Amino acid sequence: QVQLVESGGGLVQAGGSLRLSCAASGRTFRSYAMGWFRQAPGKEREFVAAISRSGSTYYADSAKGRFTISRTNAKNTAYLQMSSLKPEDTAVYYCAAGVGNSYYSVRMYDYWGQGTQVTVSS
């Protein structure tokens, strides 16, 4: 059982940067893989990035080279550093925790945060 709270969303100009944080409750954080997903209005929730329990990282093609996922287990926190942001990155971003290894699948994650809005202006 874990509770997740995202923060760091906001309005940013195209080409700018933003860092999202996901704070988790409890001492079980290191037992979970962490993922970031996003959902734009009228679209399905899509995978952005994930990090395994051991620190291996995985990225959607749209995120690779621009976004970096990381985790600090001592702080029970996962991060998504976003740079070179584009208007098409505009979405609600959700962090998630799961115990499997199907990192790209929304169904692998058991726990979800409330989401944080990211808006990129052109």
- Helix ranges (H only) for the chain are none
Contact indicator for 18, 10 with CB cutoff of 8 Å: yes
28-61 pLDDT, tens digit per residue, is 788 999 999 999 999 999 999 999 999 999 999 9
Q: Report the pLDDT value the prediction gives residue 26, as an integer from 0 to 100.
A: 73
Tens digits of per-residue pLDDT, 60-112? 999 999 999 999 988 899 999 999 999 999 999 999 999 999 999 999 999 99
The residue ranking higher by pLDDT, 1 or 16, is 16
Over residues 9-34, the pLDDT tens digits come to: 999 999 999 999 999 997 778 899 99
Please state, in angstroms and rounded to a whole number, the distance separating the CA atoms of residues 11 and 39.
16
**Phi, psi dihedral angles at 73 (to 5 degrees):** -65, -35
